[in-house]
Chains A and B, each alone.
Chain A
Amino acid sequence: MTLRVTLLMLVLLPAVATAGSKIIGTGGATTIEGNAGGGIVPWAVINGYASSEEWSVTTFASRVGVNNFNLSSGGIALSFDNRWELSYARQRFALESIGGNLAQDIFSVKYHLAGELLYTAMPQLSFGISHKRNADFALPEAVGAKSANGTDFYLAASKVLFHQLAGRNLLLNGTIRATKANQTGLLGFGSAIDNDYQFLFEGSAALLLNYNLALGIEFKQKPDNLAFAAEQHWRDIFIAWFINKNVSLTGAYVDLGHIAGQGSQTGYYLALEATW
């Protein structure tokens, strides 16, 4: 559905192809949760190309396919002034070998606190809140989750360092997240044993091969609240292609560890983004 909307917007794009003033690539890609960032780690950058006093709208559709599961995400974000990012994402998680589906809605706000990604010695700093709501709590509850809804808080720092490796620019990002989410919320929030917020680290590094291509790695630390199955950290290696300021494509190889008792979950990630 969201993929269809994104494709439709791509078709309509030539008629409305405008973009803000930000430099290409500096809006990042969009994570599976709808925030500007890499694929799984939100960055301090604001989605789209809206610079000061400009507006931007971004839509995305992505799919993760690993051995026993697949995750489809899609959503839309509105950005203003390179300061505010409001986003909505819908995730559908198909349990291919177990059977059934999980889904959640994610409403996020990100506020750019200080620093400018390209221009200041201080990294760009942003604070984000993501409120997540399970569409159907039956399965998360059955495996021990305490709540169907939860809110994550994160602080992200991002910086582009010029002329670093083979003369290429390097983007570094570190994010600290406070969360109760089990498997990012797809398996609910908290458990009978552990219902406290935990602080977790997420990081990305990307080499900007040119203005249009970024090659990077990501790591996302995960909690392990549910007794029924161990939850493991996520990692990926990605390549993002900013075709122009209106369209980008991202592909990745992902390693999501064990999920819901199913062994090593590795596979692909593909994302299409349209912005203007």
Chain B
Amino acid sequence: MVIRSGLLWACLLMLSGCSSSTPTTLYQRLGSAPGIEAIVDGLLYEIEHDERIVHHFADSDIGRFRAKLTEQLCDLSGGPCQYSGSSMQESHTGFNITLADYDALVAGLIKVMQRQQISIADQNALLGLLAPMYKDISYR
């Protein structure tokens, strides 16, 4: 068993060889400003075509939403931006975002990142930054 575990870890270590000589910040690895904009536009497309969650955006100013989300992703991923929008709690109060809504949005984001051929490691890094916002966004 010890030998087998050793083999497993050896296999896993080989996987890490690929991600060492990439740009420094997640922002850059996501493609900087154009890359983030493409993610946001892709996500807006997914939301628009997802009947489970599109109703939450019925009264939203999509232009403002797009600008603020772009700024927020840039800020979060280490880019040269400062998020200037309201807090996640404030902006989601009254929407009663459910777990299923949140899952649907995350699935939409994954779809977009897959389509843009962002590496699994960078997808996971971004998801790791966004996932914990659940407590501020859901059931408010």
Does A95 make an interface contact (CB < 8 A)? no
A235 to B19, CA, bound (A): 32
Contact of A207 among B12, B99, B119 (CB under 8 A): B12
Q: Across the A-B interface, how many residue pairs have beta carbons closer than 8 Å?
A: 90
Contact of B19 among A53, A166, A253 (CB under 8 A): A166
Does A169 make an interface contact (CB < 8 A)? yes
Does A54 make an interface contact (CB < 8 A)? yes
- Please give the distance in Å from A127's CB to the nearest CB on chain B: 19
B side interface size, CB within 8 A: 35
Does A211 make an interface contact (CB < 8 A)? yes
Q: Name the A residues within 8 Å of B1 (CB-CB).
A: 235, 255
Given the known A-B contacts A119-B102, A167-B119, A168-B121, are A215 and B16 also in contact in the complex, defined by CB atoms under 8 Å?
no
Which residue of chain B is the closest to A161 with respect to CB atoms? Answer: B128
Contact A167 B4 (CB under 8 A): no
In addition to A51-B100, A207-B12, 19 A-B residue pairs with Cβ atoms within 8 Å of each other are: A21-B52, A22-B103, A54-B100, A82-B99, A119-B135, A120-B132, A163-B125, A166-B12, A166-B13, A166-B16, A168-B15, A168-B124, A209-B15, A209-B120, A211-B110, A215-B11, A237-B4, A237-B5, A255-B1
Binding site for B on A (CB under 8 A): 20-23, 51-54, 82, 116, 118-121, 162-163, 165-169, 207, 209-211, 215, 217, 235, 237, 253, 255
